[in-house]
Amino acid sequence: MKTPAAIFVESGKPMVIDDIDLPDPGPSQVLVRQFATGVCHSQLHELDRPNPAVPIVLGHESTGIVTAAGKDVPHVKEGDHVMVTWVQRNPVSGPRPVVAKVTYRGQQVNFGAPANVGTFTWARDVVLDEQMVLPLDKDVPTDVTAPVGCAVMTGVGAAINAAQVRPGDSVAIIGVGGVGLSVVAGCAIAGAYPIIVVDLADDKIEFAKKFGATHGVNATKEDPVAKIAQMTGGGVDHAFDAIGVKVTMEQILNAARPRRGGEREGGAAILVGVPHGEAPTPAMFNLFAGKVYRGAPGGCSIPDRDFPMMIRWFKEGKLPLDKMVTRRYKLEQINEACLDLRQGKIAGRAIVEF
């Protein structure tokens, strides 16, 4: 079948809106008609990648309705609402995803990273392996839940799974876009205090307080590491970087507290944002101080376990997804959405609605 999509066909040029050709779903695949999909910073990195293997269709978080399902799909059926993600719902025991062979004008379409799972969402209809979709109750809104498949699971998962934040832990989050706000919310759910956010704009810092931030630091006005140390008496238990550039990757290690007497480890620096640009050169004395540096790619390692928990928190009012979505676009406006994201005009998360 043919379906409209945003297709990246030439490096440095805007995406085009045109029809792609989808195969019928195989035994382990589902055909999903999209409700909404998110616009993520990682897609900007994909668009900026040198020598991209075009044509490419991007996107890796969405909600939709199953319009067809293969005979071996065990957990969803035609008519079910689902969430789409790029992390296998059961990576431990589940089989490897079968990637759909999508074409555009006779050429095979490629997908964004990780391409080997075959997730793409910047199209009205998508064919995905059943490992990449999870059920969503029909009484749950399908617009503001679209970011669960990446931004929310990444941020909340970084707090709950990677850092294992506990009540009373002190935390700092650098960068409060959609992922950073999800880290804030996850830390708030876990009972952290203080929850310090660092950004370059006062309005984004203030916006983060809706998700549980208790303190803010504008990095254009003062040294965030020095301010965090002053506020916490030497550093935080967990410092998160939701951006992934050299300066912020170094700042989180500097902002983590040293090991205290009798402790095995000091504070932890958690890299959440996709690293890009120049590599960091962390000062070695931080490691001798017992600090820990870890990555949290995706944050959520088992969607089957974590997605229902996040939806439950949303329904209970603990995870304010309705406040996170602040911009809405149509598929035809995808290039405008990406430009707005580049220019820092989007607080929270933008979605494309079909």
Dihedral sign for Cα atoms in the order 231, 234, 240, 243: positive
Please give the C-alpha separations between residue 118 and each of 100, 131, 170, in angstroms, as whole numbers.
7, 10, 38
Largest CA distance in the chain: 65
Residue 333, φ and ψ in degrees, nearest 5:
-105, 20
**Quick one: pLDDT at residue 297?**
73
**Quick one: pLDDT at residue 56?**
97
**Quick one: pLDDT at residue 320?**
97
DSSP3 helix / strand / coil % (the chain, rounded to 5): 30, 25, 45
Q: Please list the pLDDT of the chain residue by residue as tens digits (354 residues).
A: 999 999 999 999 999 999 999 999 999 999 999 999 999 998 998 999 888 999 999 999 999 999 999 999 999 999 999 999 999 998 877 788 999 999 999 999 999 888 889 999 999 999 999 999 999 999 999 999 999 999 999 999 999 999 999 999 999 999 999 999 999 999 999 999 999 999 999 999 999 999 999 999 999 999 999 999 999 999 999 999 999 999 999 999 999 999 998 889 999 999 998 888 888 887 878 878 899 999 887 677 789 999 999 999 999 999 999 999 999 999 999 999 999 999 989 999 999 999
Q: How far apart are CA 237 and CA 347, in angstroms?
A: 27
Question: Could you give all domains of the chain from N- to C-terminal order, each with its CATH number?
Answer: 2-149+321-353 (3.90.180.10), 152-295 (3.40.50.720)
Q: Model-level pTM? A: 0.94
**Quick one: pLDDT at residue 113?**
83
Cβ atoms of residues 306 and 153 within 8 Å: yes
Tens digit of each residue's pLDDT (9 = 90 or more) over 240-249: 999 999 999 9
Report the DSSP beta bridge partners of residue 83.
63, 134
Residue 177: which of 207, 157, 156, 146 has the closest Cα?
207
Q: How far apart are CA 171 and CA 320, in angstroms?
A: 19
